[in-house]
Amino acid sequence: MPSFKEGFFCTVLYLRVILKGGKIMLKGRHLIDPQDFSLEELEDIFMLAEEIMEDQESFKNICNGKILATLFYEPSTRTRFSFESAMLRLGGEVVGFSEPGSSSVMKGESIPDTIRTVGSYVDIIAMRHPKEGAPKYASLYSPVPLINAGDGGHQHPTQTLTDLLTIRKTKSNIENLTIGVCGDLKFGRTVHSLIKALSRYKDIKFILISPNELQVPDYIKTEILNKNGIKYKEVERLEEIIDKLDILYMTRVQKERFFNEADYIRLKDSYILDKEKLSLAKKDLSILHPLPRVNEISYEVDEDPRACYFDQVKNGMYVRMALISKLLGVR
């Protein structure tokens, strides 16, 4: 029996869909955490992303006159290029900075002042910041939709949308799967976001593969996995469980998250996926990686049909095209 709150939400969602001609409207919303959107809203984004993949020509001008600001207080290649390419392919324009040294942040300008100022010039903002919670704080002052493009070791919701879309395309659905997450589970924001998002789908089981020092944080176990009755197992050896996995999500050990370089050097080669380990896996395994990689996936694996990480990169651009379109209300 649904609670009053759940019933009220479903009624409101239904009315929104009916009143908008069957389309779920996300115009003006922020995306800070993967759980900011319902499963129905995520599905709507994925369906639009797939529509864009099939017919890019129909979407090339829908953001004419719109401007995206990319505020990257931390280095990025894929995420920043993906956002910028997404907006340009939709016919919009892009302004912003790729590191804080080229902005008034160096003069001591606060996040609220930066966001209020930039929000006066643009229609939507994508923000990456090394401090956890900074995009959430910024969204309180933003006059336009704000997307969290990664905050420290906390969340990376658009990478999660990318991951979910890739799983959806390779497995046809996002249910009844055993997901192996391998590498840096302590600092990996993509891991934290993915676990939170997948916890809302049916019959998902996690196998968490990491050294003791890089295990998933306790709050993920208590507030997400245990609270939602999600089955999970923690192991240290990839080869012991790779044959049980439907999805293998590899991550790098992140040098920039370590305070002690000696600890990084000791742990950086903990897991390397090569052909020998892959020979033990299912024939329909899907290998994902948020990239960049260092050496955790051998280059020989790239030619294996189970390697999905470069398709995953392209999916990231399409899902951001869909997200921008939805938040701006142009689709």
Decide if 160 contacts 181 (C-beta within 8 A): no
In angstroms, rounded to a whole number, what is the distance separating the alpha carbons of residues 115 and 96?
12
Which positions are catalytic?
78-79, 107, 128, 156
Decide if 125 contacts 145 (C-beta within 8 A): yes
Task: Give yes or no on whether 25-155+314-328 and 158-309 have one common fold.
Answer: yes
- Structure token pair of residue 69: 């600001």
Q: Cβ contacts of residue 244 below 8 Å, gap of 6+?
A: 178, 180, 207
DSSP classification of residue 283: T
Tell me the CATH number of domain 25-155+314-328, given options 3.40.50.920, 3.30.70.360, 3.40.50.720, 3.40.50.1370. 3.40.50.1370
Amino acid at 261: E
Mean pLDDT value of segment 227-244:
94
Per-residue model confidence (pLDDT) at position 5: 43
pTM of the predicted model, to two decimals?
Answer: 0.86
Mean pLDDT value of segment 187-194:
87
Domain ranges of the chain: 25-155+314-328, 158-309
- 257 or 179, which is more confident: 179
| Interval 282-296: pLDDT, tens | 999 999 999 888 889
Per-residue model confidence (pLDDT) at position 20: 47
SS3 299: helix
Whether the predicted pLDDT of 50 surpasses 90: yes
Concatenated DSSP letters of 209-254: E--GGGPPPHHHIIIIIITTT-EEEEES-GGGTGGG-SEEEE----
Per-residue model confidence (pLDDT) at position 212: 82
Residue 167 CB-density burial (10 A; 0-12 exposed, 13-18 middle, 19+ buried): buried
| Interval 2-42: pLDDT, tens | 444 444 444 444 444 434 445 668 999 999 998 899 999 99
Q: Cβ contacts of residue 266 below 8 Å, gap of 6+?
A: none
In angstroms, rounded to a whole number, what is the distance separating the alpha carbons of residues 163 and 315?
8
| Interval 107-166: pLDDT, tens | 778 999 999 999 999 999 999 998 989 999 999 999 999 999 998 767 889 999 999 999
In angstroms, rounded to a whole number, what is the distance separating the alpha carbons of residues 160 and 323?
12
Q: Is domain 158-309 classified as CATH 3.30.365.10?
A: no
